[in-house]
Amino acid sequence: MDKRVELLAPAGDLEKLKMAVLYGADAVYLAGKQFGLRTASDNFSIEEMKEGVSFAHEHGKKAYLTMNIIAHNDSMDQVAPFLEEACDTGIDGIIVSDPGIFQVVRELRPGIPIHISTQTSTTNYRTVEFWHRLGAKRIILARELSLEEIREIRRKVPDAELEIFVHGAMCISYSGRCLLSNYMAGRDANQGDCAHPCRWRYYLMEEKRPGQYFPIEEDAAGTFVFNSRDLCLLPYLPEIISSGVTSLKIEGRVKSSFYVATVVKAYREAIDAFYEGNFGDTGPWMDEVGKVSNRAFTTGFLFGKPGPEAHNYETSSYIRRYDFAGLVTGYDEASGRLIVEQRNNFKAGDTVEILPPKGPFTELTLRELYDEEGNRIDSAPHPQMKVLLAGVPLFPANSIIRRKSAKEDG
């Protein structure tokens, strides 16, 4: 196995991009202000894109740009100018799903690698071959494929780069090709604005009995009939990497930098362990990915069509065992105190875990907190306030301070 698999992470904004890179991603994917699904994430201006791409390159990593909306006529005039500006930032590849946008990229920038988005629902080797012959470098396969199907595609189209999703939210439709959100909320999933109505709670009402709601139950457990669990394929990385795929993608450009850093780090360590021949107990990595928001986990389609176990019938809320309390931004040499930017309220006496970009986390209890003027304080209540921590070991900048969320305490 000469070339190692790529770990590809979501970058919803500049901070998330930097955290993904620092915590171990080989590449990131991001969207500009136009043409990328996920309008809920902040996305990148051209200036930010330049900064993000430079940051990735300085660390020896790649950055890909998503332009994967299903475009209507009125978008097409803006594609070329946006593409020119975006390509000038040094971006390493463009992710597209719309053949019209594919064609514009080929004509305007024939040298830039094109990745075919999962939005095209590529589920067989002939389709992979089709896109590859047209000039696509990489095909991001549909989530709805089994490991056996992926292996077969790899065997039959050995030259195309293949990317698969290994972690994150699942759609109940084929990778977002769905009009439910347009219909229920006037928000277009294919333009990156899904309101997730598939996860709402539904009842049945007979027309002559207004106001009488009958529960819809797939089984006795509940009514969230379309509420898929999140994908997590970490325990199966050896089989997946051995199938010969090129890139392993983590979903979640709207997720927090806390989420991105935690999930990327767990997968980084697991992938490295695989190549070092140490892929053993996955418990600690699974514990890590369970600390950030998730809807409980499923292996999706990896071992065939999923059954009821892939659904969460009880709640459509996220499970999150830990909160992002703060981010280490530096170290005050004069006082020997760690400088932290607050992200969620924390106080003296709290037991926290500090997770550095490399190496294990450390659990400790916060004893002494100071504000920027050097006054001792009991807590850090204000968003993004600077807090200095005394009596804690030195941790590198960008280490994450996390605390068990209130629901988990006690």
Give contact residues for ligand SF4 (rule: CB under 6 A): 171-173, 176, 178, 180-181, 189, 194, 196-198
Per the DSSP assignment, residues forming a β-bridge with 138 are 115, 161
Closer to ligand SF4 by CB, 118 or 181: give it. Answer: 181
The Cα–Cα gap between 18 and 314 comes to 35
* Least CB distance to ligand SF4 at residue 196 (A): 5
Residues with Cβ within 8 Å of 3's Cβ and at least 6 positions away in sequence, in order, are none
205 burial (CB, 10 Å; 0-12 / 13-18 / 19+) is exposed
* Least CB distance to ligand SF4 at residue 177 (A): 8
Torsional class of 384: left (φ above 0), alpha (ψ -120 to 50), beta (otherwise):
left
Closer to ligand SF4 by CB, 295 or 402: give it. Answer: 295
* Least CB distance to ligand SF4 at residue 143 (A): 11
Distances (CA, A) of 244 to 154, 161, 275: 7, 9, 14
The Cα–Cα gap between 404 and 410 comes to 10
Do the bridges between strand 337-342 and strand 322-332 make them parallel or antiparallel, or are there none, so unpaired? antiparallel
Closer to ligand SF4 by CB, 63 or 198: give it. Answer: 198
* Least CB distance to ligand SF4 at residue 75 (A): 19
* Least CB distance to ligand SF4 at residue 146 (A): 20
Distance of CA 352 to the CA centre of its chain: 24
Closer to ligand SF4 by CB, 198 or 325: give it. Answer: 198
* Least CB distance to ligand SF4 at residue 121 (A): 12
How many Cα atoms sit within 13 Å of 25 on the Cβ side?
Answer: 31
Closer to ligand SF4 by CB, 5 or 178: give it. Answer: 178
Closer to ligand SF4 by CB, 28 or 180: give it. Answer: 180
Two tokens, residue 82: 């946006």
